[in-house]
Amino acid sequence: MRTMKKYKLTILGLVFVPWVATAQLLPITQLPDTIVDQLDRSVNRNAERLQELKQQRLVEQQLQKTLAIKAQLLDPLVQLPSVLPILDTRKQLLWNEVEIELGQRAVEREWLILLSAEQWLQVLKVVPTLSQYVHTRKNLDSIDLQLIKLRVSESLDNTLKLRQQLPELLAPYLSRNFIYQPQANLSERSTAQPVEQDKASAMCDVPIALGMVDTAITSDHSAWPSKSAKRFALIQQDFLPAAIPVSYSHGTAVAGVLAGDNASLSPLLPLLTLYSAGAFYAQNEYQQGATLDSILQALNWLVAQNNRVVNMSLTGPDNPVLNEVVSRLVAKDIILVAAAGNGGPAAAPLYPAAYDGVIAVTAVDDAKRLYRWANQGDYIDFAASGVKVLTTRADGSVGRESGTSMATPVVSAKVACLLASSPELTLAQVVEQLQQQAQDLGEPGKDNQYGYGLLTRPLKAGL
């Protein structure tokens, strides 16, 4: 005969030992109602307590899982101090970079006004005292406007107070001198040694001119094609104060995606003239910042060099001055391709990517999974490879970089190749062509994660 397992149940001090066998049945004893009620209440309490323990255990497990994940990740934005003195190479103070509302950063007490020369004269007639705050005036000839930089007193370093001092018509053209940041994540750099790999196809094999606003670029990197080959020309212009510490890391990495060519790298554009407008200074050993003032001057120069496509692997806050410049460039059929941002899935939109008329690019890895720090939103247009991308580094080496910055030049190259074959295309027609070349990812159609889908090399012909 097969032996059956025996279980003992103890409730309220009473021991019940049910024996299960094939040869007999235990007699059924009727218990008093009071004991039955007590048993019911006890069982219910025990069941509730058991459920609470299960829930607590699940919460603890989830917390441990979250902590384990966070332990493996570094915040993509290393915190800068609330006041960061920017010094020149002689240790003289150039300006204080300060944290303001919503975690944004700006140059302390510096404001920008964007007006035509005639408008500026009209403003001075109404508020002649404004001239005492003027620090610089620079013509942005490409958009027929002047950029006036004001340095105001501490008491006026406030949007509301400053606007009260200005004519009402000036309000839409006033902005702080905000700080913008590149969108490569140094915390996810790979130190793995690159290996020789099969050459990927170029985006296109025709001569291309392309502009970019970024850090300076290391001009003597061994991955650049030799000058004798006449396949890569680098034209650089910086828009920074004299004697300010210059950074090369980010711009060199972006340029490497476009033009790097050696045993490990395959250029997107093997016949490239790259116009690099240097706008970023070194905030510290690892981070870079660019003032809105420098970015606008850089854009003005790039347009003056007849660049119709401009790569902007940078992000920052919305403001009326940048919005006006972008709107005017879009009206001139200048195509701006910008990084969507590495703020994370719940982050607010970042600019210039979120402006109308700008092509916003997010990043995916080799498995076509969305980059974990990528911004999301209805402004995302396209995705491209941007996780652990092999590219050039400022120290002359080759390594892997991650971020929406690394994905942006892929789309810029695609746009430039389209225009090289069909220069008459408008922005709307370029976007339509890109949609036909994109592989739909995520939800069908355009979505907040991948936009219209993934763009890869090479340029597809005959669409």
Which of 323, 306, 320, 316 minimizes the C-alpha distance to 280? Answer: 316
**Same-domain check for residues 297 and 388:** yes
Domain assignment present for residue 91? The answer is yes
| Residue % of the chain over a pLDDT of 90 | 68
Residues 6+ apart with CB under 8 A from 195: 264
Longest dimension (CA), the chain: 112
Handedness of CA 257, 259, 264, 266 (dihedral sign): positive
Q: What is the mean pLDDT of the chain?
A: 86
In a domain, 173, yes or no: yes
- Residue 447 in any domain: the answer is no
H or E element, residue 253: helix 249-259
**Residues 5-34: what's their mean pLDDT?**
45
DSSP string, 333-347: T-EEEEE--SS-TTP
Is 456 part of a structural domain of the chain? no
Does residue 358 sit within a domain?
yes
* Same-domain pairing of 166 and 212: no
For residue 36, is pLDDT > 90? no
Q: What is the pLDDT of residues 291-332, one digit of tens each?
A: 999 999 999 999 999 999 999 999 999 999 999 999 999 999
Q: Specify whether 158 is located in the same domain as 256.
A: no
DSSP state at residue 424: T
State the total domains in the chain. Answer: 2
CATH of the domain at 107: 3.30.70
Q: Do residue 315 and residue 263 come from a single domain?
A: yes
Are 193 and 174 in the same domain? no
Same domain, 107 and 236: no
Whole-model pTM over 0.85: no
Last residue of a domain, one of 157, 179, 201: 179
Catalytic residues: 214, 250, 405
Domain shared by 164 and 287, yes or no: no
Question: What pLDDT, in 10s, does the model give residues 230-256?
Answer: 899 999 999 999 899 999 999 999 999
Q: Which of 137, 161, 179 is the last residue of a domain?
A: 179
Domain shared by 277 and 420, yes or no? yes
Is residue 63, in this structure, part of any structural domain at all?
no
Is the pLDDT score of 370 beyond 60? yes
User: Are 174 and 236 within one domain?
Assistant: no
Do 366 and 230 sit in the same domain of this protein?
A: yes
Please check whether residue 98 lies inside any domain of the structure: yes
Domain membership of residue 127 as a residue range: 83-179
A 10 A CB-CB count for 224 gives 25
Question: Which positions ≥6 away from 71 have C-beta within 8 Å?
Answer: none
Same domain for 155 and 252: no
Q: Are residues 148 and 186 in the same domain?
A: no
Tell which of 150, 179, 208 closes a domain.
179
